[in-house]
Structure 1
Amino acid sequence: MGRFSFPMAQGRAEALGEIHARPFALVGKNRVIFQLAFLTDGGAVVDHAVLAGLARARGVAVPGRDTAHFSMPWGQGTLRWERHTEFSTYFWDAPAPSSFGQSIDTHPFGDQFSPPGSLISGIRLEVREDGPETQAAIASFDLTSLCLSEIKGGQATIATDFRQDGDGLTRILVIDKGMSEAGRGAVVQRLLDIETYRTLAALGLSLARALSPEMRRIEDNLTKITQAMKTGARDHADSLLAEITILAAELEANAAASLYRFGASRAYYNIVRERIASLAETPQPGVETIGAFLEKRLAPAMRTCQSIEERQANLSRKLSRATSLLRSWIDVELERQNSALLSSMNRRVKLQLRMQQTVEGLSVAAISYYIVGLFGYLAKPLDSLDLPFKSGLASSLFVPIAIGFTWMTVRSIRKSHDIEDRTEKTTPE
């Protein structure tokens, strides 16, 4: 009694667990955090092999192949791994060095680390308590791209210039002014997401730039074809249709190749904007916020991707219309040829009918001639009889009878054939 034991709906466990799928790490005071994101070109198999090697090296049980999250102690911090749709992240934290940006000799990403794919994002984030040395840390950033703002109602200040250090890592500074471990963890996770996803979103821009010359070439060729259609569409419809078909195939291939990338860029861009909004930045005099800095640079890139998508769609519609016009010319030409063929067939049928009628007349005469001849042989014995007429007179009188009989027989045969033809035409197959 008192037990809640009911059959569970399919997918309930997954739905409930989704909100806990990406818990942010609790971050202590004065910590340095490294996060590397790799495009997993080899799939989950390669990622699992790398993670298994790291686990064995630390004497930790190897995670299952279907695992999406995994963590294990490493030195004075924790190494955390997470699998995403097209990339995976490796997160490691440790006590911060004495000065901002100082080299750290011991970390998991040394010579023994085998990357599962190509590096897409590398971040070095330091959380430091507010003090005199933090001003020197801010001064180490490039002032031309420095982003500085307060967050969480003045509980923290964040600074970055989105430039990479000697290790190829983007440096970010979080100045702690009284946040809790959970608060620091939430801020760290948002900043890591912003840098990772803004890099992934920008991948669409390089593809858009690569596709732009191809789009221009297809547009120019389509213009030439449509100009040629104005003067010689009827005479060159087949060749023009072949050219348009090639252009349409090239366009569809490019559109298919860019469909996922542009869609992913839009999704990543939306994530970046959500993470920036959740920071609730307060701008500082004379410098930009992270949100303002990225919006000025990411928004044009996303508009470029959108422009290429719209050009692809518009060009596809234009190619379809041009194809329809050319097919109309080809259909008209085919109809003209079919009409000429039918007219030719009608003339042949009439000629065959006349020849048939001529042959029928000749056949009546020929058959009648042979019948009269046979009758003449039968009538010769009449000459030996004492009759008032001879065989020649009988044969002469039989000629019209033979002709009439033959003509009626041929006509009856032709009528029976006509009836059979009409019956075959009206009988459904």
Structure 2
Amino acid sequence: MTPYLHEHPRRAALINELHARPAPALTAPCRMAHLAFKRIERAIDRDRSIDRAHMAALCARFGVAPPAPEAGHHFADFGRFRVKWEMHSEFVAYTIFAEGVSERPFAENPMRLLPNDWLASAPGVAVAAIHAELRPWEGASPGEAGPPPEAAGQFTGESLAGCATAGGAARVFGDFRLDAEGFTRFLMLTRPEASPRQMGRMAQRLLEIETYRAMSMLALPVMREIGPRLAEAESALVETTQAISAPERGAEGDDRASLARLTSVSAEIEAMTARTAFRLGAARAYGAILWDRIAALREERIEGVQTLQEFMTRRYAPAMRTVESGGERLENLSARATRASDLLRARVDVALAEQNQALLHSMDRRADLQLRLQETVEGLSVVAIGYYAVSLAGYLLGPLAAKIGVEPKILTALSVPPILFGVWLFLKRLKSRIAEDGGH
């Protein structure tokens, strides 16, 4: 690396990723077997080490170099056959290549070249097993109609799919059915003008089409399994929503019951979403890769044979639409549960607002009554204080009344109004001062 460039630590790894899985160069005749094992529920890092160790064990048995400690792919030549090993996010794939073919197509599966005990100990479960053969095509012209004689008896006519590719220099056929050994089969015919690299890329695309088809369709049984639970949750949500909007609905007790039901339904929906989210996302990604690989074949129609794209459109696409429909249904149900929760929350907020309003009215009435009682008490206080003040004034004015010749009672009576007014004015000022101090 040039010393004056500060390289990103992952730059080389990201560049190498573009060249991590090159297509092999294939020359007819040859045969190949492709096995894809999906990892079981374990930690991904542990799976990768187990897969790498399994490939290293095969290399050690035949005395060839094992994969590097952190490698995610490896190509090894075992003499009689070659093995291409690849690790993916969810599965690990082994492709076995062997030169030559038998007179009868598919009579010799190259998988039999591998040790039985090694195959039996492969980590994970097989999701794809493909037997493919590349044979020279020395028959009629590229525009020949119908399937070739080599395909007779090897494929089911109703399921047979095929096309011309590589500019008409090659043909591929398959029916996506399992043979007696549990493998799907592809027959590839090539003319001399097709290059080995072209044939390698064509074979790789066919193997990936079947592998990604199998991986994407793993979502179908998951969606079928949750279908009844999805219907139950949908029915429960409808009933709860109807109960929330019922005009004869009660108040607090009904809201609590609806909230409990809605919480239960929402929890069930979230559990289904958590269970299916990864599988649905993976199915969409695998499906996109599958259609990309079919497009990369640049299929040319063979009269009397449906193309691979037509086969997938008729057989594969409906299954994936079922998966997509289930995913959309789950998303819509989750959104509806959220809206129902918002509706119930709004109803509870309105009820709380009404309760608060009633409480405020009650507090206003209580304050008004308290004010009236206070005013009454203040009036009584004026009378009581005035009574005692007049009594004291009578004692003070008694001697004065004798000197001026006025009856003491008359003089006491005349003192009542100013005394009461004075008491009232004193209490009023005292109340105002207390109010001012309270305002501060």
Name the TM tier (shorter chain): 0.7 to 0.9
CA 103–319 in structure 1, closer or farther in 2 if over 3 Å, else same: closer
Using the TM superposition, give the Cα deviation of residue 103 of structure 1 relative to its aligned residue in structure 2, in angstroms. Answer: 5.0
- Separation in 2, partners of 1:421, 1:365: 26
Deviations 1:100-128 (A, max 9, x none): 23355753462134333222211122223
Q: Given that residues 34 and 122 in structure 1 are in contact (C-alpha distance below 8 angstroms), is that contact kept between their aligned partners in structure 2?
A: yes
CA 167–409 in structure 1, closer or farther in 2 if over 3 Å, else same: farther
CA 389–165 in structure 1, closer or farther in 2 if over 3 Å, else same: farther
Deviations 1:70-91 (A, max 9, x none): 2333352222221222222122
Q: Is 1:276 aligned to residue 294 of structure 2?
A: yes
Q: Kindly report which structure 2 residues correspond to 1:277-292, keeping only aligned pairs within 5 A, or say none.
A: 277-292=295-310
Unaligned runs of 5+ in 1: 424-429
CA 361–231 in structure 1, closer or farther in 2 if over 3 Å, else same: closer
Q: Given that residues 74 and 108 in structure 1 are in contact (C-alpha distance below 8 angstroms), is that contact kept between their aligned partners in structure 2?
A: no
Using the TM superposition, give the Cα deviation of residue 189 of structure 1 relative to its aligned residue in structure 2, in angstroms. Answer: 0.5
Q: Kindly report which structure 2 residues correspond to 1:271-350, keeping only aligned pairs within 5 A, or say none.
A: 271-350=289-368
**Aligned position for 1:199:** 214
Q: Given that residues 86 and 92 in structure 2 are in contact (C-alpha distance below 8 angstroms), is that contact kept between their aligned partners in structure 1?
A: yes
Using the TM superposition, give the Cα deviation of residue 239 of structure 1 relative to its aligned residue in structure 2, in angstroms. Answer: 3.0
The residue type paired with residue 347 of structure 1 is R
Unaligned runs of 5+ in 2: 140-147
Q: Could you tell which deviates more after superposition, 135-144 or 334-343?
A: 135-144
CA 274–312 in structure 1, closer or farther in 2 if over 3 Å, else same: same
Q: Given that residues 96 and 111 in structure 2 are in contact (C-alpha distance below 8 angstroms), is that contact kept between their aligned partners in structure 1?
A: no
**Aligned position for 2:108:** 102
- Separation in 2, partners of 1:165, 1:15: 40
CA 198–327 in structure 1, closer or farther in 2 if over 3 Å, else same: same
Partner secondary structure for residue 344 of structure 1: helix
Using the TM superposition, give the Cα deviation of residue 350 of structure 1 relative to its aligned residue in structure 2, in angstroms. Answer: 0.9
- Separation in 2, partners of 1:125, 1:92: 10
Q: Given that residues 47 and 116 in structure 1 are in contact (C-alpha distance below 8 angstroms), is that contact kept between their aligned partners in structure 2?
A: no
- Separation in 2, partners of 1:184, 1:239: 66
Which of 173, 177, 188 aligns to 1:159? It is: 173
Aligned-residue sequence identity (percent) comes to: 36
Q: Given that residues 233 and 329 in structure 1 are in contact (C-alpha distance below 8 angstroms), is that contact kept between their aligned partners in structure 2?
A: no
- Separation in 1, partners of 2:272, 2:342: 22
Which of 209, 212, 232 aligns to 2:248? It is: 232
**Aligned position for 1:410:** 427
**Aligned position for 2:73:** 69
Q: Could you tell which deviates more after superposition, 105-114 or 339-348?
A: 105-114
Which of 179, 183, 207 aligns to 2:198? It is: 183
Deviations 1:34-58 (A, max 9, x none): 2211223431322322322442534
- Separation in 1, partners of 2:404, 2:45: 122
Q: Given that residues 96 and 126 in structure 1 are in contact (C-alpha distance below 8 angstroms), is that contact kept between their aligned partners in structure 2?
A: no
Q: Kindly report which structure 2 residues correspond to 1:345-364, keeping only aligned pairs within 5 A, or say none.
A: 345-364=363-382
Deviations 1:133-154 (A, max 9, x none): x845642222332223332234
Using the TM superposition, give the Cα deviation of residue 389 of structure 1 relative to its aligned residue in structure 2, in angstroms. Answer: 7.8
Using the TM superposition, give the Cα deviation of residue 345 of structure 1 relative to its aligned residue in structure 2, in angstroms. Answer: 0.9
Partner secondary structure for residue 148 of structure 1: strand
Q: Over the residues paired in the alignment, what is the CA RMSD in angstroms?
A: 3.5
**Aligned position for 1:46:** 47
**Aligned position for 2:130:** 123
Using the TM superposition, give the Cα deviation of residue 191 of structure 1 relative to its aligned residue in structure 2, in angstroms. Answer: 0.7
**Aligned position for 1:112:** 118
- Separation in 2, partners of 1:391, 1:79: 138
Deviations 1:328-380 (A, max 9, x none): 43333333222221111111111111111222223333344455666778889
Q: Given that residues 98 and 110 in structure 2 are in contact (C-alpha distance below 8 angstroms), is that contact kept between their aligned partners in structure 1?
A: no
Partner secondary structure for residue 185 of structure 1: helix
Deviations 1:294-330 (A, max 9, x none): 2211221222223223333443444444444444433
**Aligned position for 2:36:** 37
CA 48–31 in structure 1, closer or farther in 2 if over 3 Å, else same: farther
Using the TM superposition, give the Cα deviation of residue 405 of structure 1 relative to its aligned residue in structure 2, in angstroms. Answer: 4.3
Using the TM superposition, give the Cα deviation of residue 279 of structure 1 relative to its aligned residue in structure 2, in angstroms. Answer: 1.7
Deviations 1:260-284 (A, max 9, x none): 3223222222221221122223333
Q: Given that residues 28 and 136 in structure 2 are in contact (C-alpha distance below 8 angstroms), is that contact kept between their aligned partners in structure 1?
A: yes
Which of 136, 143, 157 aligns to 1:143? It is: 157
- Separation in 2, partners of 1:69, 1:54: 10
Q: Given that residues 259 and 344 in structure 2 are in contact (C-alpha distance below 8 angstroms), is that contact kept between their aligned partners in structure 1?
A: yes
Q: Is 1:261 aligned to residue 275 of structure 2?
A: no
Partner secondary structure for residue 37 of structure 1: strand
Give the TM-score normalised by the residue count of structure 2: 0.81
